[in-house]
Structure 1
Amino acid sequence: MFATPARHNAMLVVGLDIGGANLKAATSDGAAVDRPFALWKHPERLSSELRSLIESLPKADAIAVTMTGELADCFVSKAEGVRSIVAAVQAAADVPVRFWQTGGEFLVASDAVELPRLVAAANWHALATFCGRVAPHGPGLLIDIGSTTTDLIPLLDGQVHSDGMTDLERLRSGELVYSGATRTPLCAFGSTVRVAGNDMPLAAELFATSRDVHLLLGNLPEDPTDSDTADGRPATCNFAMARLSRMACSDPDEIGNEFLHQFAEALAERQRRIINDALEQVLCRLDHPPHVLLSGSGSFIAERILGDMPNSSFSDVTLLANLFAKHVARSACAFAVAKLAAERLTL
């Protein structure tokens, strides 16, 4: 289904998805790699990190780029962020580079810098444009829940049909929700949650994130080698319990395992409610129940939300991870922009 149409001398393209916390790359023929990178801490290292990422993949004829990292607060503005990322990619690449924009076209570097609002935060658009072919007729809806955000992208006859194009417009329309599977601070879920029949106030500190909730509930696997957590300790259930306890200004032996699991369930339910409220806002604008496409590391959250909705709310559900190889699914936006470039560009 995702094969590039055969043509003479087809290009091999490396797609880059440059975020504020992760760098992802994939080739148009299905090789993929991703790695954490705190852009907001080390913007001066972006070019060397990208060069290393590109060199880990087969030599390409071109590089296609989409980004969200321009929002990192190491930049004074998104326009500055776009300029910096464009410059870093050009310094890292020794082949032609093109940048995806929300008008549905690729731009050369000089145009990308001149049109930063079209290039900024365009990875959702690349993914939806590519995956829209899975729902080629009638209304569709791509639900992509990643580490940090949720995208709710309306489609019509396989084409992007969103109300908003910029992050600001999409936040206002409900098409962008700043809630994801791993990086969302739990204090962003609200000031209190209902646990065991009582209101439990949440500490307004970065003590724990959504990853800790989903670790404790078994929705995400443990990774003792990964310390990209709120306290810098490993991503294991034991440490997740300690982080979650701090959200109630306590320790695990003080709050108890049973309460911690109830606490995690309540927080997960609150996150689903936040995303569901935006989903209802988007669905009410569609004329007919959509074919829903699920994507992202947090697709298990979307599956639970849809499972609680009437079947009449959607016509069909497709889990895109079943159509990608597992390693490619982790870098879906990078793969999408690589495939789009391989299909559309003539250099």
Structure 2
Amino acid sequence: MGIYIQNPGLLTSVQDRGRFGGQKDGVSPSGAMDLHSMRLANLLIDNDMDEAVLETTFMGPEILFTEANFFAVTGAPMNLTLNGREVPMYTALYAYEGSVLQCSAANSGCRSYIAFGGGLAVPETDGSKSTLLRNAIGGWNGRKLQTGDEIGFTAPRSFLENYDIRYTPQKVSYSEIELRVIGGPQEERFTEAGLAAFYGTSYRVSQECDRMGYRLEGETIEHKTDGNIISDGIALGAVQVPTSGLPIIMLSERQSMGGYTKIANVISADLPLIAQSLPGTRVRFRQVTVEEAQKLWLSELEELEGIKEELHRSYQRTFRLHVGGRTYHVGVTEQ
């Protein structure tokens, strides 16, 4: 089979990169909030880096493996046990049939990602396995996971190349972050004082933060008139400023269109920072050019490709085979 959910945690859902092309019809892309961590989890167990995973929020799940497979957990740090023994994050791990993975609350940050070898057997909706929670679309029955849910594996693995070296450094979350942004399409609708407040002061993540967006608290941003515009499309990371003058960062499950002025847009490379932020986190904004944003995103992709290559590189390729309940180590030396 695959996995059986014994305890779903606070909010656990199936997510991949997201679905695209549906915003014109009012359908949000959804997808993993921290795309970098999702991709790392997949790379660690030799999946396509955009394969669907489980995204957890604050409190992780308890999972029974009804079929043996490899897995990896990345993102917000939390304590993991496999059959009662502590196991590390950011590492390829193997679970036998009947094994139980228990995940604690996040120690810092808020979202973690659990990838399974070969991926999860979840049907695609409009080209994606992602759950769009507020519209009950995709994922596992269009909702967060519940106790008793059973999800199969698409192609579970009994061995993994270079298994013993499949780990990466763990990312660290901070209590204050800097988000790089490019100027928004309605930047001219703000006064000089408003722009100075946005770029010159820090904001605090409010209690109103979820997969749709993060409301920030702090100095108000002054408009030349008000914050209303004719509704237009909303990009991932758009920073809306309604007439109240307090910014809202729009995220994975944002609405497809909106009628508030957008002062800026968080660059793709920095979206994981806000996705992992807890209420109370201090946020500062710094403007960069479109060209700088593109270079930073290409650098992010190059880093992931470098990790992928490193995980496949070894003078001795090591395989761990699990046959009939026994483990065999096989090494193949390159000449």
Q: What interval of TM-score do these two structures reach, taking the shorter chain for normalisation? A: under 0.3
Radius of gyration: which is bigger?
Answer: 2
TM-score under structure 2 length normalisation: 0.26
TM-score, length-scaled by structure 1? 0.25
